[in-house]
Amino acid sequence: MSTNQIGLEKAELTPAIKALNALLSSYHLFYINVRGYHWNVKGEHFFTLHPKFEELYTELQLQIDEIAERILTLGGTPLHAYSDFAERSGIKEDKGVFDGRACVLGVVKGLQTLIEEQRAVIEIAESASDQGTADIVTGYIQAQEKEIWMYNAFLG
């Protein structure tokens, strides 16, 4: 059988699954960074940023699960080891960040990286007639663009 369980050509989905696993990796590293910002933020904006970062990492956790489930739906296997995430992620660890402004800059940079990767995922998915993946990722981009605007408003 040349199609998967949802009727898409298996051979055409290999690049999409690979791109989704790279995106999953970036989401994991970003999630870890945001958890660190949440735990370690200090300064005058603590009471504003601490809950905002919790809101963000909770949303990231849901998106991580959706991406992994999409990989499974397409017939792939989602990565699950930190070493695989670190190797494939477009986002790097952001250690030792405590200043609220620096944390927000890290969030903005992470969101910009995710958006860039997701735009590439959309192109790959559409070339495989995988509108489901393209639609999921488009929704993420729309919300993340708004988040970037709000975080940049905070930065002034």
Across the range 122-149, mean pLDDT stands at: 98
Across the range 34-52, mean pLDDT stands at: 97
pLDDT band at 23 (very low <50, low <70, confident <90, very high): very high
Residue 149 host element (H or E): helix 131-155
Domain-embedded: residue 6: no
pLDDT band at 44 (very low <50, low <70, confident <90, very high): very high
Alpha-carbon gap, residue 41 to 50, rounded angstroms: 7
**With 80 as the cut, is the pLDDT of residue 156 above it?**
yes
- Are 57 and 34 in contact by the 8 Å Cβ rule? The answer is yes
Tell me what pLDDT residue 1 has: 72
Domain-embedded: residue 1: no
Across the range 95-119, mean pLDDT stands at: 98
**With 80 as the cut, is the pLDDT of residue 138 above it?**
yes
Q: At 107, which CATH number?
A: 1.20.1260.10
Please name which of 121, 3, 141, 122 lies closest in space to residue 73, comparing C-alpha atoms.
3
Tell me what pLDDT residue 142 has: 98
Gyration radius (Cα) of the chain, Å = 17
Number of structural domains found in the chain: 1
Q: What is the mean pLDDT of the chain?
A: 97
Across the range 121-144, mean pLDDT stands at: 98
Tell me what pLDDT residue 135 has: 98
Please name which of 62, 153, 48, 58 lies closest in space to residue 108, comparing C-alpha atoms.
153
pLDDT band at 82 (very low <50, low <70, confident <90, very high): very high
Across the range 57-73, mean pLDDT stands at: 98
Domain-embedded: residue 3: no
pLDDT band at 57 (very low <50, low <70, confident <90, very high): very high
Percent of the chain residues topping a pLDDT of 90 = 99
Token digits of residue 48: 């504003």
The boundaries of the domain holding residue 81 are 11-155
